[in-house]
Amino acid sequence: MEKTQEESQNQLSNFQAEAEEAGEDVLVSGELWLGLSANIQLFIIDLQSREYRVGVTPGIGYGLKWRPSFWTISKALLALDFFFKC
């Protein structure tokens, strides 16, 4: 069963409270989740000839995303995704 974002946040808050009670430092609080991603590559580099080849390559992927609690600019600050190119 997939966890909602609110359940994930509650679980993280509980973890932080337990760590603080135990006297452990919590380095960075935030959210960690798996999610879909979309990608459009606008150029391709030929490594043998070191030339740019203009092109558009769409792709879809899935990966791990992370956002610290202080980050409010976008949904995720860091992401590690694996893409399938069309």
For residue range 9-28, what is the model confidence (pLDDT) as tens digits? 676 666 666 656 655 555 56
Mean pLDDT of 30-45: 85
Distances (CA, A) of 13 to 5, 26, 35, 81: 12, 11, 21, 26
Domain parsing of the chain, residue ranges? 28-85
Mean pLDDT of 50-78: 85
Does the structure show a pLDDT above 80 at 61?
yes
pLDDT of residue 62: 92
pLDDT of residue 84: 82
pTM (two decimals): 0.49
Closest among 68, 65, 67, 70 to 82, alpha carbons compared:
65
